[in-house]
């Protein structure tokens, strides 16, 4: 058995460095700073002192994923169910939020706005509100059927009609289009009920003769199919403002940005109508990127968007006037971003070349470059915490991204890094890189 060398370490430990040969780990040119080749189950404080890492406690047993926490309540997926978890005293209480989600371990992404949490996993979408899940957006009604009528005072001409649904909170759906009719006297509009139990009324809009602007002429006050006869006597005053608006497409990432909801679906970034977070115009409100979007995070003065191959900063606060800049020529690992401190300014994530921090002004800093080798899997999950005065970013990974390294590099990698741990709370994960971030400077990698 090979005898190991015992090294006494006091203050001044800089963390792990697996680029530097072992015999050079204490020769960094900084007096009193030492590095180690491996370190397990210890944290490193701001003075470079080792602290024994705290243990963990299982609070729920299950095949869980997509953990998210907001205002003291955690949310997670288990099978086809979205659940919540809250601590009351010494007890952890779970509740079912939604069921019937299509099977698969797709990552659920969440975006809290006001009293709602918007979510999507690339297949389904929804909104958590008042502890329950509901549909995100309203599917518009089908086109109405128009039929001429001799009853009424309309002069001969072309008229248009459209219908929308109204939800129990007053939110109005879009209209899929208009139907035109040549009429004299009046005409009737046949409209269909919605299968959504939250719909409480149907609005009917009509244009004046030969014009394109439609105005509200009737609200049913109930969700039922029926026929409305328009005879030209109703005053036209409230215009239709939701033409061609639809619920969001399912996407792999969701974010909120200065009055807009954003959802990334494949390589396309869609944005909602301003301050109408459940209404999207797909024909106009989108941006296209070269590859699948894997990073989407807003800061005070812009938006970071990462793909499998590149990272961009979209500068500005008006989504219609953003300026796109490339900030890194390598991609971001999907699922790994988490907000640091201050919350609105700092985001940590795992890139194809290590752990990065982005902040206002389009600044990107690679925190592990030339310090440690980090496994850059195809999917990850990261979170930020403060413990004992130490800021930490913890990220777990699956599906190692082997194509980025040649065989020789992978041989070196396998010799130099073997980091595994279990995250506390709901889920047990493997392949975890754990970086301490005292004073926003990297001080080590712990496993």
Full DSSP string of 36-58: ES---SEEE-TTS-EEEPP----
- Of residues 267 and 46, more confidence is placed in 267
Q: Determine the pLDDT at residue 423.
A: 29
- Quote the pLDDT of residue 197: 95
The DSSP annotation for 60-73 comes to: --S-EEEEEEETTE
CATH assignment at residue 403: 2.130.10.10
The answer to whether the CB of 360 falls within 8 A of the CB of 427 is: no
Q: Domain residues for 288?
A: 64-137+247-441
Q: What is the pLDDT of residue 114?
A: 94
In a domain, 186, yes or no: yes
Q: Are residues 207 and 345 in the same domain?
A: no
Range with the poorest average pLDDT among 47-51, 85-89, 340-344: 47-51
Residues 407 and 310 in one domain: yes
Residue 31 vs residue 359, higher pLDDT: 359
Q: Which two tokens stand for residue 321?
A: 């006037």
pLDDT tens per residue across span 65-107 = 999 999 999 999 999 999 999 999 989 999 999 999 998 889 9
Question: Residues 336, 410: one domain?
Answer: yes
Give dist(CA 295, CA 8) in Å, integer. Answer: 42
pLDDT of residue 411: 42
> Across residues 420-435, what is the average pLDDT?
35
Q: CA-based Rg of the chain, rounded to a whole angstrom?
A: 28
CA distance linking residue 124 with residue 108, whole number of Å: 9
Domain contains 190: yes
Please report, rounded to a whole number, the percentage of residues in the chain having pLDDT higher than 70: 79
Residue 46 covered by a domain:
yes
Residue-averaged pLDDT of the chain: 84
Of 53-62, 82-91, 99-108, 167-176, which has the strongest mean pLDDT?
A: 167-176
Domain match, 192 and 213 both: yes
Q: Please tell me whether residues 423 and 321 are part of one structural domain.
A: yes
Domain boundary among 230, 264, 292: 230
**392 or 198: which leads in pLDDT:** 198
Number of domains in the chain: 3
Residue 59 lies in a domain: no
E strand or H helix that includes residue 28: none
Strands 199-207 and 116-120: unpaired
Does pLDDT of 438 surpass 80?
A: no
Instruction: Give phi and psi for 285, each to the nearest 5.
Output: -95, 75
Residues 6+ apart with CB under 8 A from 31: none
Helix/strand/coil for 320 = helix
363 lies in a domain? yes
Inter-residue contact 307 to 293 (CB < 8 Å): yes
Residues 321, 432 share a domain: yes
pLDDT value of position 200: 98
272 and 225 in one domain? no
Backbone angles phi and psi of 270, in degrees to 5: -95, 145
Q: Supply the pLDDT for residue 386.
A: 82
- 88 bridge partner residues: 91
Looking at residue 383, its pLDDT comes to: 85
Confidence (pLDDT) at 25: 55
How confident is the model at residue 368, as a pLDDT? 84
Same domain for 254 and 202: no
Both tokens of 326, joined, read 């490339």
Kind of pairing, strands 286-288 and 268-273? antiparallel
- The count of other CB atoms within 10 Å of the CB of residue 52 is 8
Question: In the predicted model, what is the mean pLDDT of residues 2-19?
Answer: 57
Same domain, 279 and 411: yes
Candidate from 75-84, 205-214, 260-269, 365-374 with smallest mean pLDDT: 365-374
Q: Which two tokens stand for residue 316?
A: 């500005």
Q: What is the pTM of this model?
A: 0.82
Give the per-residue pLDDT at 37.
66
**Is 429 inside any structural domain?**
yes
Q: What are the backbone angles phi and psi of residue 415, rounded to the nearest 5°?
A: -80, -25
Nearest of 210, 205, 202 to residue 154 by alpha carbon: 210
Q: How far apart are CA 137 and CA 124, in angstroms?
A: 12
Distance CA 175, CA 214 (A): 11
Bridge partners for 187 per DSSP: 148, 230
CA distance to 151, 193, 206, per residue, from 219 (Å): 20, 13, 12
- Closest of 342, 440, 434 to residue 54, by C-alpha: 434
Q: Does residue 194 fall inside a structural domain?
A: yes
**Same structural domain, 262 and 401:** yes
Is the pLDDT higher at 33 or at 93?
93
User: Do 327 and 365 sit in the same domain of this protein?
Assistant: yes
pLDDT tens for each residue of 282-329: 999 999 999 999 999 999 999 999 999 999 999 999 999 999 999 999
Has residue 255 been placed in a domain?
yes
Residue 190 makes CB contacts below 8 A (sequence gap 6+) with 144, 145, 146, 147, 225, 226, 227
Residue 249 per-residue DSSP state: P
How much is the pLDDT for 374?
74
**Res 50 pLDDT > 90:** no
**pLDDT value at 403 more than 70:** no
Of 169, 202, 230, the last residue of a domain is 230
Domain identity same for 199 and 294: no
């Amino acid at each position: 058995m090979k005898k190991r060398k015992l090294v006494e370490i006091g203050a001044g430990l800089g963390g792990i460095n697996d680029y530097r040969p072992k015999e050079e780990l204490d020769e960094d040119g900084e007096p009193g700073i030492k590095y180690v080749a491996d370190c397990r189950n210890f944290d490193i404080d701001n003075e470079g002192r080792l602290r024994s890492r705290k243990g963990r406690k299982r609070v729920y047993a299950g095949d869980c994923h997509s953990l998210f926490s907001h205002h003291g309540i955690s949310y997670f997926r288990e099978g086809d169910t979205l659940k919540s978890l809250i601590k009351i005293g010494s007890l952890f209480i779970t509740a079912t939020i939604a069921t019937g989600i299509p099977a698969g371990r797709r990552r659920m992404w969440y975006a809290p706005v006001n009293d709602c949490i918007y979510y999507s996993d690339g297949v389904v979408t929804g909104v958590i509100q008042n502890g329950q899940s509901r549909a995100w957006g309203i599917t518009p009604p089908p086109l109405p059927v128009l039929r001429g009528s001799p009853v009424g005072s309309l002069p001969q001409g072309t008229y248009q009609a459209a219908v929308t649904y109204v939800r129990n909170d007053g939110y109005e759906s879009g209209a899929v289009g208009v139907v035109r009719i040549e009429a004299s006297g009046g005409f009737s509009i046949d409209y269909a009920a919605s299968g959504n139990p939250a719909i409480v009324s149907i609005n009917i809009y009509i244009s004046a003769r030969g014009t394109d602007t439609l105005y509200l002429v009737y609200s049913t006050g109930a969700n039922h199919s029926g026929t409305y006869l328009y005879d030209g006597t109703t005053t036209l005053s409230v215009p239709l403002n939701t033409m061609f608006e639809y619920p969001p497409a399912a996407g792999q990432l969701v974010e909120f940005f200065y009055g807009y909801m954003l959802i990334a679906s494949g390589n396309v970034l869609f944005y909602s109508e301003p301050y109408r977070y459940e209404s999207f115009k797909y024909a106009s409100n989108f941006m296209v990127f070269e590859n699948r979007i894997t990073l989407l995070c807003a800061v005070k003065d812009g938006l970071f968007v990462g793909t499998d191959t590149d990272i961009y900063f979209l500068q500005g606060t008006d989504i219609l006037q953003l300026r796109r800049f490339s900030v890194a020529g390598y991609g971001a690992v999907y699922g790994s971003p988490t907000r640091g401190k201050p919350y609105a300014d700092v985001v940590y994530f795992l890139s194809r070349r290590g752990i990065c921090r982005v902040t206002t002004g389009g600044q990107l800093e690679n925190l592990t470059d030339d310090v440690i080798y980090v496994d850059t899997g195809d999917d990850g999950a990261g979170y930020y915490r403060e413990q004992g005065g130490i800021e930490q970013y913890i990220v777990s990974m699956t599906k190692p991204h082997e194509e980025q390294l040649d065989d020789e590099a992978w041989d070196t990698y396998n010799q130099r890094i073997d980091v595994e741990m279990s995250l506390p709370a709901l889920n047990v994960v493997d392949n975890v890189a754990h970086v301490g971030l005292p004073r926003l400077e990297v001080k080590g990698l712990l496993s």
